Structure 1
Amino acid sequence: MLTVRTGRKSLVTLGAFLSVGALVTGCTPEAENSNAQPTNASVEGNQAEGDKVVIGFSGPAADHGWLGAINTAATAEAEKYGDIDLRVAEGTNDANLQISQVEQFINDKVDAIVLLPTDGAALTPVAIQAMEAGIPVINVDREFSSPAAARTTVLGDNYGMGVSAGEYICKELGGDDSAVVAEIAGIDSLPLTQDRSRGFTDALEACGLDVDNRVAADFTVQGGEAATSQLLSAAPKIDAIWNHDDDQGIGVLAAIDNAGRDEFIMVGGAGSANAMREIQAGEGVLKATVIYPSTQAADGIRLARLIVQEKAMSDLVEVKVPKRVVLNAPVVTGENVDQYLPTAFES
């Protein structure tokens, strides 16, 4: 045992001993770095194969391009990792059926569940049930009504989409406070639609504009065409339109063509490849679209793996995966469309 006395001479002697020891055994920062091992918060540690992770994935029916891209991206992401066993439930728009799918995942004792709910509120109780069973739930796109229902939530920025669309229109209309602005929303009962409309209204208000005409569709081509026909009949003059969804935008553009209207500019939403090609051509009313990432479920798959393996996100100092991740909502125009088109989804 080494006994250290408190006298000045002893302290000096001990200090000299430690200094010599440091000279003998000490490493330079470069040497330390060369011997550093990957951690669970490093890029190498994130990528390193770990224990097998069984992930259950359930989402709505892929009845339009964005949802199809969500499912495809999730599956493709899982295939990148040898330690992921992905169990995919059949897509459905029936909340009760989706509840039973999650219950089956719980019974199967999967390690994590990635869930894009048909209805966030309706799926909240069964998600809480999974969490209480010790199965982390990663909530994607449509938010649960209780924070207790998810370990991590991955969202597109719906409010930000509205803000981005509104700011673009404000800029393009050049401060003309007499301009007529129209909005073609998605499904009004969904919180995501409400958030998009709120962001749009707030952005327009900042430049002295408001929404003069508004209709809601249902995220389908047929619904977009019907709602737009109604809008155009009711509004003989329009300067700008924001359509929330590029899939329903196919019907929106068809209605515009049928009506022979071209006096306005139009902004889309979500960022489909066909919308971007229309923007790239620069010949029609569609001048921009706002990205709503179709990578959300893929991000959920990756985060589920990190959570189960007790890893962290390598670009963060925090040693745990965040509770909430909100993705960006950039505007795609003719100037930057080439950057976004390669990763866009097909409608």
Structure 2
Amino acid sequence: MGKMNRLWMAMVVLATLWVAGCGAQQTGQTGTAGTSDKIVIGAALPDFDDKWLSYLQDGMRQYEQSQDGVEVIYVDAMNDASKQLSQVENFIQQKVNAIIMVPVDTTSAPNMVDKANQAGIPIVVVNRQYDGVEAATAYVGSESITAGVMEMEEVAKLLDHKGNIAIINGQMGQEAQIKRTEGNKQVIAQHPDLKVVLEGTGEWDRAKGMTLMENWIQSGQHIDAVVSNNDEMAIGAIMALEAAGKLNDVIVAGVDATPDALEYVKAGKLKVTVFQNATGQGQGGLEVAIKAAKGEAVEKFTWIPYELVTEDNVDEYVQKWQ
């Protein structure tokens, strides 16, 4: 082949590659933000390993699958607020159409909301409320203090309004930990014969709740009820009490009414839990984010109510998860 022919062939190959590259730029790739025919939502979640939050994410995925032309990018902050900030900044750089955020903590959340607002991207806060949340496009969730009040009111009734209470906190500083415990203590303060004798954190984790309860049992402090910020820690406490042969002497309460917890309610081991609709919060958060991405008006607050669960009505809530 002559030199001119080789040069001509090389020019043809280069031109073909250039056209292909332009075409790829114009059409975009599936799963990236900024395509004209798809709404892309960034979902900044605090912890994929958290059991209750996994149900919230399931609710989002179910709603996503029911929508045409919607894609959600899910990221895990691994309970690291600085990591979540970086993830939100990445969503902004990608020019997603909207952001959903369940904050790792309520201290860092306002900064992330401000960054989204400055970029003109709607941001919907889900599940964890905080002072100033109204700066976000919308909030979808429940009022955590209500769960703590409902939980403790039922425990107080079961104790005939007298006894020693041990409170298991979730991750310290998180909105649900602060408000649920505040709700517990509001009720306790109304009854002079109820007293908090022990308080510690199980960081939302079953194994850590079990270890904390084991330490309390070894302390010898008399306990009439264990009131936990969530069901996972309550189940850990039940396991420790059962192993020590003390479960029949202690009322245990939790929050969330997860499928695992409902089995403990049915068995008579978990006396009280409060249903927090994880699926409803996930679906509701994504529904609001899609509307905001389309430029539609949305309510500033969408409340998903809590519901008390005991042995009397537990079967109704088992059916909700089926």
TM-score (norm 2): 0.81
Q: Which moved more, 1:60-69 or 1:230-239?
A: 230-239
Q: Does 1:337 align with 2:314?
A: yes
Q: Which residue of 1 aligns with 2:233?
A: 248
**Alignment partners' CA distance in 2, 1:87 and 1:214:** 38
Identity of aligned residues (%): 28
Q: Which moved more, 1:328-337 or 1:136-145?
A: 136-145
**Alignment partners' CA distance in 2, 1:269 and 1:148:** 25
Bigger CA radius of gyration: 1
Q: Which residue of 1 aligns with 2:199?
A: 214
Q: Which residue of 2 aligns with 1:12?
A: none
Name which structure has the greater RCO, CA cutoff 8 Å, separation 6+: 1
**Alignment partners' CA distance in 2, 1:234 and 1:217:** 17
Q: Does 1:64 align with 2:64?
A: no
Matches within 5 A, 1:179-194: 179-194=163-178
CA root-mean-square deviation: 2.1
Contact 1:288/1:331 (8 A) holds in 2:
yes
Contact 2:44/2:84 (8 A) holds in 1:
yes
Deviation at 1:335, TM superposition (A): 1.1
Contact 2:125/2:133 (8 A) holds in 1:
no
Q: Which residue of 2 aligns with 1:16?
A: none
Amino acid at match of 1:185: N
Deviation at 1:289, TM superposition (A): 0.7
Q: Does 1:161 align with 2:147?
A: yes
Q: Which residue of 2 aligns with 1:197?
A: 181
Q: Does 1:231 align with 2:216?
A: yes
Deviation at 1:331, TM superposition (A): 1.2
Q: Does 1:308 align with 2:293?
A: yes
Give the secondary-structure state (helix, strand or coil) at the position aligned to 2:236.
helix
| Shift in alpha-carbon separation, 1:235–1:156, aligned structure 2, 3 A | farther
**Alignment partners' CA distance in 2, 1:214 and 1:91:** 28
| Shift in alpha-carbon separation, 1:104–1:340, aligned structure 2, 3 A | same
| Shift in alpha-carbon separation, 1:140–1:58, aligned structure 2, 3 A | same
| Shift in alpha-carbon separation, 1:71–1:258, aligned structure 2, 3 A | same
Unpaired runs of 5+ in structure 2?
1-36
Amino acid at match of 1:334: E
| 1:85 aligned residue (54, 63, 71) | 71
Contact 1:60/1:92 (8 A) holds in 2:
yes
Count residues in correspondence: 283
| Shift in alpha-carbon separation, 1:90–1:213, aligned structure 2, 3 A | closer
Unpaired runs of 5+ in structure 1?
1-50, 312-319
TM-score (norm 1): 0.75
Query: What do the CA deviations read for 1:297-318 (whole angstroms, capped 9, x no partner)?
Result: 321101111223344xxxxxxx
Give the secondary-structure state (helix, strand or coil) at the position aligned to 1:247.
helix
Contact 1:213/1:235 (8 A) holds in 2:
no
Q: Which residue of 2 aligns with 1:287?
A: 271
